[in-house]
Amino acid sequence: MNPSSHDFDLFVIGGGSGGVRAARMAATRGVRVGMAESGRMGGTCVNVGCIPKKLYSYGAHYAEAFEEARGYGWQMAHAPALDWQVLKTNRAKEITRLNGIYEGLMVNAGVQRLQGHGRIVDAHTVEVTGDDGQATRHTARHILIATGGTPFVPAIEGRELAVTSDDMFDLPVFPQRLVVVGGGYIGCEMASIFHGLGAQTTLLYRGEQILRGFDDEVRAFAADELRKAGVDVRVGCDVARIEAGTGDTRRVVLANGSVIDADVVLYATGRRPNVDGLGLADAGVQQADNGSIVVDEHFATSVPGIFALGDVVGRMELTPVALAEAMALVDHLFGPAPGKAARTMDYDNIPTAVFTHPPIGTVGLTEAQARERFSDIQVFRSDFKPLKHTLSGRGERTLVKLIVDTASDRVVGLHMVGADAGEIVQGFAVALKCGATKAQFDATIGIHPTSAEEFVTLREVSRK
């Protein structure tokens, strides 16, 4: 079939971070681009993920700041109180503003934006069912699936009484008692945020330690800090069922028979690829057991002409990863921008943060991963009370950790638990990407007094 006979050169299903970036970058190459999105533009990150989460995290930190201020001489005439409705309203205004910006990006780039649910008919045809129920068909030389992920709740008794992370930002009433089931980054962030906002918070995780996949020392340190802050973290804990309590309350019955009463039960037990109703099976698109779409190094699926990227392929479920994948795909399909080299996707040394209180920042290998990969490593670490808390009265501590390959002296892992960890680790991620050595860290002058300077003043090997 001649490409010119198609309606579009690229048709994108999904208006989240990856889909928007791919559509916009492709349009700048002068090709015809269409996009279908059934919800609000911006996807999970803008609407129910990164952005509202970070806004609420900022809000939660104010409660800590009010308490800390006393140690610095500030007197509070009245106890501050959270107005949940004001926080929700202001968040909603900002998200609506961002929705408009994302819509504008499509319009200004010349992308034809279709409001509705996209379904793949065949390798070059997408059917879009609009909000009015009317369906239209569109042909494309290439189809991109960028539909993201969706929260997963296991089939336990009473699951309909629980909420997911999608619901947390707009709860009708602020929960005085919150139970979070799940010890991944979403569960830990929500526990921190809502505890900071004033909820009595219990976090339940069936594994032996929260934050599976992160460095073991970081996991243990973060769990201790959460407990010190007042979050009731319980590991090795299974939920048997959820029951309705009096009024709108809930009762969480554990496998050991104990009961926890709550106003809200949040299930943060992972996410699944958002693939329902896409017609993948009929089109012959191969999927993994968990539903994620199987793709090659160029994000091509098993069907020529159909591509997928972002959370729906289940590699690294991070917004900046989806953005980078989108740019690599566009360069592959339509060539790089004039004067630029074609981009490819490298999943090594991708930094990430967990916005718990205190936050976690990490880049590179965990200690366990480094021990598997290298014959000899050195671990440098320090934990300390930050200068701020010498007067604030809080017992919060900070952990910094470097993992070094002894043979090459390269720093292969860098981890932090402490204030501004995400901001600090982003900078050091550049150094790791460039292959920085421990000697180069040692030769770098620190900025004093900061927590970040600890990374360039670590001299004593903690263990080999």
Q: Which residues are catalytic?
A: 448
Nearest alpha-carbon partner for 52 in 179, 175, 189 = 189
Instruction: Quote the longest CA-to-CA distance of the chain.
Output: 75
SS3 36: strand
Structure tokens at 89: 């309203």
The DSSP secondary structure of 121-181, one letter per residue, reads EETTEEEEEETTS-EEEEEEEEEEE---EEE-----BTGGG-B-HHHHTT-SS--SEEEEE
SS3 251: strand
Enumerate the β-bridge partners of residue 410. Answer: 437
CA–CA dist 25, 17 (Å, integer):
12
Structure tokens at 400: 């910094």
DSSP code of residue 308: E
Nearest alpha-carbon partner for 451 in 364, 365, 358, 312 = 358
CA–CA dist 161, 362 (Å, integer):
35
DSSP percent split of the chain into helix, strand, coil, nearest 5: 35, 25, 40
- Cβ-proximal residues to 233 (8 Å cutoff; 6+ apart), any chain: 191, 203, 205, 210, 223, 226, 227
Stretch (H or E) spanning 58: helix 50-69
- Cβ-count burial of 254 within 10 angstroms (0-12 exposed, 13-18 middle, 19+ buried)? middle
SS3 188: helix
CA–CA dist 419, 387 (Å, integer):
11
Structure tokens at 217: 């020392």
CA–CA dist 7, 3 (Å, integer):
9
| 247 neighbors 444 (Cβ within 8 angstroms) | no
**Paired sense of beta strands 125-130 and 8-13, if any:** unpaired
First to last CA, the chain: 61
CA–CA dist 271, 257 (Å, integer):
28
